[in-house]
Amino acid sequence: MIQKIIQIGNSTGIIIPKSVLDQLGLKPGSEVKIDTDNTTKSLIIQDKNTTVKTSSITPHFLKVLDKVNSQYSTALRELAQK
């Protein structure tokens, strides 16, 4: 779904379709938390009472892990056997 960012007075906003609000159980006047995910350049909108478990596993970490695994796979397998 593509939505345009619009000017609302001195602020900007995005119109959230009713179907999305219904899916999330939100309505006009609901309080929400807005966070960002810099890895995916995404906005996260959630009910103010929702908690999300964050992960420290980033794409960069996975890339480094793949490199370590490919370079030291034999040694890591031997270590796992001990």
Q: Which pLDDT score, from 0 to 100, does residue 52 have?
A: 63
Q: Write down the pTM of the prediction.
A: 0.50
Q: Which amino acid is at 75?
A: A
> Which class does domain 5-81 fall in?
mainly beta
Q: What is the pLDDT of residues 5-23, one digit of tens each?
A: 999 999 999 999 999 899 9
More confident residue, 45 or 56: 45
* Sequence spans of domains, the chain: 5-81
- pLDDT value at 46 more than 90: no
The Cα–Cα gap between 47 and 50 comes to 5
Q: What is the pLDDT of residues 51-66, one digit of tens each?
A: 766 777 888 888 999 9
